[in-house]
Structure 1
Amino acid sequence: MYPEVAARLRAWRDQGLRLFVYSSGSIAAQKLFFGYSDAGDLTPLFENYFDTTSGHKQDTTSYRRITDAIGLPAHDILFLSDIVAELDAARTAGLHTTLLDRDGLAPESDHPRVTRFDEIVLPA
């Protein structure tokens, strides 16, 4: 995990934001990853976890299912990914998106792009 990520996640949670994980890794693997991070146990920061049992990450229907499970309007959700096709599917479902481009090598896209978590701008 990159150094600024845990601090940013904690700050968002302290602001009252609800945090979720959607990964191609299983929910059990996600909990292990966040439970034993270099920054300590981050699992209490997340309200819920989603994996591909919600659907393929490049399928718009998956994001609609997750939005329904979260219980928020799609336009109130920000989805972060380093995969443009996932961001495209999320945006088609109505979510805000940000491309995580840590190394600056991601393909061109019209999604907002950041190289660090502390550069992410939350939607108004």
Structure 2
Amino acid sequence: MQPVLDENTDLKCVILDIEGTTTAISFVKDILFPYIRKNLKKYLETHWEEEQCQGDVQALREQSINDSEEKKSSADKLQVVSPKILSNDENLELTRQSVVDYVLFLMDADRKVTSLKQLQGHMWKQAYSTGKVVGQIFEDVLPAIKHWISERKKVYIYSSGSVEAQKLLFGHTAEGSILEFISGHFDTKIGAKVEVDSYCKIAKEIGCKNKEILFLTDVTREARPAKEAGCQVAVVLRPGNAPLSDEEIQEFPHISSFSELYAEGSGVEKAKLVKK
């Protein structure tokens, strides 16, 4: 069996995805996203005049304009036309409704745009601070993070969700805040998770060679560019995650628990991950 963790390379950094990796997909799907859908209209009504809310609206408006421009230049005539966000000079109720329509459009299309994640992060901040939402992580996550830190490795988060949303989740878990154990956060501002260059940028920013990084994610479309960038990778199998194809199983090492990455109590990293 071929070990996945390179025994000839000193692993210095671990980068963790969130959804389906540290946290169940159901938490995002059944708690976080429904909260946005249920409370968006009321949130806009309550915070509309605030500078932060107007900043979020303007970012979404600019994204909607970009969507329209891309539609005009596209040869795909069947492409769905996105809703347009009205200007603030229009009827206030209609303008707010146009924001609601566009946000729901982005969510329905599973768009990973920064403007959407920014608004969601601000809404979730209110939910976490009032105790309406509590961050969830799998039980093997915190022990593994503490183990890596004890081995002088640094742990980072890289998620499509905004940095603010990441900090909210890890700052309000059932175990309390675990932000002290995380050295840094990255979101789509560094680049898309499906692009090789994103992982190179992260490596440069954290001062690690690409080969000294282990990236853990639940999807191969993110693992593949990280691997192409020269990082070590493993796909995490969690309840509710999409199953891997036979080809993906052959292509990538995979684990069901972070604890599989180290020998319990020995303080020595295990090259346990193998392509099965």
1:43-54, aligned counterparts within 5 Å?
A: 43-54=179-190
The one-letter code of the counterpart of 1:53 is K
TM-score normalised according to structure 2 size: 0.43
User: How much is the aligned-residue C-alpha RMSD, in angstroms?
Assistant: 1.6
Residue 84 of structure 1 corresponds to which residue in structure 2? 220
| In 2: Cα distance, 1:120 partner to 1:111 partner | 15
Please say which structure displays the higher CA radius of gyration.
2
1:38, CA displacement in angstroms?
Answer: 1.8
Which consecutive aligned stretches of 4+ in structure 1 deviate over 3 angstroms post-superposition? 121-124
> Of 81, 106, 115, which aligns to 2:244?
106
**Which residue type is aligned with residue 190 of structure 2?**
S
Q: C-alpha distance in 2, partners of 1:54/1:117? A: 25
Aligned identity (percent) is 31
Are 1:61 and 1:93, in contact at CA under 8 Å, matched by a contact in 2? Answer: yes
Deviates most, 112-121 or 48-57? 112-121
Give the conservation status (yes or no) of the 8 Å contact 1:98–1:120. Answer: no
Aligned residues, how many?
124
Residue 32 of structure 1: CA displacement? 0.6
1:12 is paired with a residue whose SS is helix
Q: Any stretches of 5+ residues in structure 2 without a counterpart?
A: 1-136, 263-268, 272-276
Match of 1:58 among 189, 194, 203: 194
Once residues 34 and 10 of structure 1 are traced to their aligned partners in structure 2, the CA distance between those partners, rounded to angstroms, is 14
Distance 1:73 1:9 in 2: 20
Q: Distance in 2 between matches of 1:94 and 1:123?
A: 20
How far off its partner does 1:5 sit? Answer: 1.0
Shift of 1:123: 7.6
2:256 paired residue number:
115
| Higher percent of residues as helix | 2
TM-score (norm 1): 0.92
Counterpart of 1:70, as a letter, is: I
